[in-house]
């Protein structure tokens, strides 16, 4: 499952990624843990959702091009989002989607998020 993330003044998403990582490390955002830094991969801190990963892929990378080429952005391919968050796991993906959207909306201003889109193509 993908989430298109639009950042107005940060077209490559670099500021978004560094701010998100920093806020998690400072425990300003406590519900998430960093699993990998490149590409930034998060897991929800609840034990129940530990198997679900959220990977952020910036525009202009191979991973982003692959998602776009496979048609997983649906109606959100134009205008192109700055990042795509891919949620992958065996179960509970829909619950983690809710947590991700909540985090993105609650912290929209410091992260620079201007909009999100959830393609329902799959």
pLDDT in tens, 16-67: 999 999 999 999 998 999 999 989 999 988 777 888 999 999 998 999 989 8
Residue with tokens 């998602």: 67
Residue with tokens 């406590």: 30
The 10s digit of each residue's pLDDT in 79-122 is 889 999 999 987 788 889 999 999 999 999 999 999 999 988 65
Residue 76 within a domain: yes
Residue 28 within a domain: yes
Domains contained in the chain, number:
1
**CA 69 – CA 14 distance, rounded (Å):** 22
Residue with tokens 């983690």: 96
The number of angstroms, rounded, from the C-alpha of 30 to the middle of its chain's C-alpha atoms is 16
Residue 41 within a domain: yes
Question: Which residue range(s) make up the domain with 25?
Answer: 2-117
Distances (CA, A) of 107 to 22, 57, 61, 72: 13, 19, 25, 25
Residue 122 within a domain: no
pLDDT band at residue 75 under the 50/70/90 scheme: confident
**Six-digit token string for 30:** 């406590």
Nearest to 48 by CA among 106, 111, 90, 105: 90
């Amino acid at each position: 499952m993908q989430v298109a993330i639009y950042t107005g003044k940060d077209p490559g998403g670099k500021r978004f990624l560094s701010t998100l990582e920093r806020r998690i490390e400072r425990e300003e955002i406590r519900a998430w843990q960093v699993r990998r830094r490149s590409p930034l991969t998060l897991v929800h801190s609840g034990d129940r959702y530990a198997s679900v990963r959220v990977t952020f892929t910036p525009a202009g990378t191979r991973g982003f091009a692959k998602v776009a080429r496979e048609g997983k952005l649906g109606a959100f391919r134009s205008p192109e989002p700055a990042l795509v968050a891919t949620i992958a796991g065996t179960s509970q993906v829909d619950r983690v989607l809710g947590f991700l959207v909540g985090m993105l909306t609650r912290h929209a201003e410091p992260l620079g998020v201007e909009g999100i889109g959830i393609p329902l193509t799959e």
